[in-house]
Amino acid sequence: MKLTPEQKEQFERDGHLFFPGLFTPDETRTLTNAVPELYSRQEDYNVREKGTNSVRTNFAAHMYSAPFARLGRHPRMIEPVEDLLGEKLYMHQFKINGKMAFEGDVWQWHQDYGTWKNDDLMPTERAMNIAIFLDEVNEFNGPLMFIPGSHKKGVVDAKHDLTTTSYPLWTVDNALITQLVNRAGGRGGFDVAGRPVQGGIVSPKGPAGSMILFHSCLVHASTSNLSPFNRVAVYLSLCAVSNHIRRHKRPEYIAHRDFTPIDCLPDDCLLKEYPVDLPWKDGVPKSAFVTTPEPFKMAA
C-alpha cells in the first residue's frame, strides 16, 4: 500500500494518518479470535493492570501466534512506513494493548521515541507506530488522543514515571502539554457558522479494522476506559534497520534484538494460512530475559 502525495503532506503536517475500516471484518476477526487465549497465559509478556487480572499489554505475539506473525508482515502496515522512511524495517516492538471495559487504565502523555531513546538507545526518531483497532473505538472507551504537529518539536523533556500505572513510561509534564495543545489550536470549538474547528487535541475513532499510522515523536495519551466496551488494539513499532537500538536494557519481548528486514506476505495473509516462523511457540527463551545496561557494538 503506497501513500499519495496528499497523505504524505498530511503526515508531515500532523504527524499521523487515519485509515477507517482498512481491514475487513473477516480479516479483523482472525486477530480478535486469537486474543483471549493469549491474554489467558500467565507469562511475563502479559503485563496486567494494577490490582486486576486484566491485561494492559501483551508483548511479542508475532513470535508465538501465527495470526499476529502474519499481521507483522502485512503490506498494508509495512509498505507505508517503508515509503515514509525510505528504508527496510525491522520490528522493534509488537503489542496488543487491552484497554478492557471498566478496568483499562490511562496511558499518560508521552512520546514513544522518548522511551526508545532513553531505555534502548535508539539513535534517532526514524521509527514509527502502526495501530490496528480490534474493537470499535468511540469516545467512551478510552481512544487515543494526539496533539497534531507535536512531532515537529522533536524529542521533548520527559520524566520516568514508575508509579502511575503498571507499565513505566517517559512522560511529558502538564505545562508542556498545555503549551503544545495551545500551539496546535487550543480548545477548538465552532466557528460563527456553527462548523466545528479542530483544536489542539484530536482523537481518531472508528470501526474495528481501522488503522492509524503515527510518528514516533507525536505526543499522545489515552484516558481510562470506564465504559462497558473493550478497546483492544495492536501496535507495531517499526524501525529503520540502520536505526536499530544500541542497548538491551529491557527484555527482548519488549525491545526486540533481531534487526532482520521484514519481508511482506501477500495482501490476503490474514485470510490464508501462509507459513510463518514462530520462534517462541514453545516458550520464551532464557536469553530473552538477559539484559545489558551498557551500549553494545555490532560485529564488523
- Which amino acid appears at position 38 of this protein? L
- Judge if pTM exceeds 0.85: yes
Q: Is the pLDDT of residue 207 over 70?
A: yes
For all residues of the chain together, what is the average pLDDT?
91
Q: Which fold has domain 5-289?
A: Jelly Rolls (2.60.120)
Q: Region 258-270: what's the mean pLDDT? A: 97
pLDDT in tens, 159-184: 887 777 777 778 888 998 899 898 88
Nearest to 214 by CA among 232, 200, 231, 202: 202
- The C-alpha cell at 3 is 501513500
Residue bearing cell 486486576:
52
**What pLDDT was estimated at residue 197?**
62
**What pLDDT was estimated at residue 300?**
45
Least confident range from 15-24, 129-138, 161-170, 214-223: namely: 161-170
What's phi and psi for 74, nearest 5 deg?
Answer: -80, 130
pLDDT band at 79 (very low <50, low <70, confident <90, very high): very high
pLDDT in tens, 80-136: 999 999 999 999 999 999 988 898 888 889 899 988 999 999 999 999 999 999 999
User: What are the boundaries of each domain within the chain?
Assistant: 5-289
Helices (H), 33-162: 35-39, 66-71, 75-85, 112-120
DSSP 289: G
**What pLDDT was estimated at residue 165?**
77
Report CA 80 to chain centroid distance, whole Å.
15
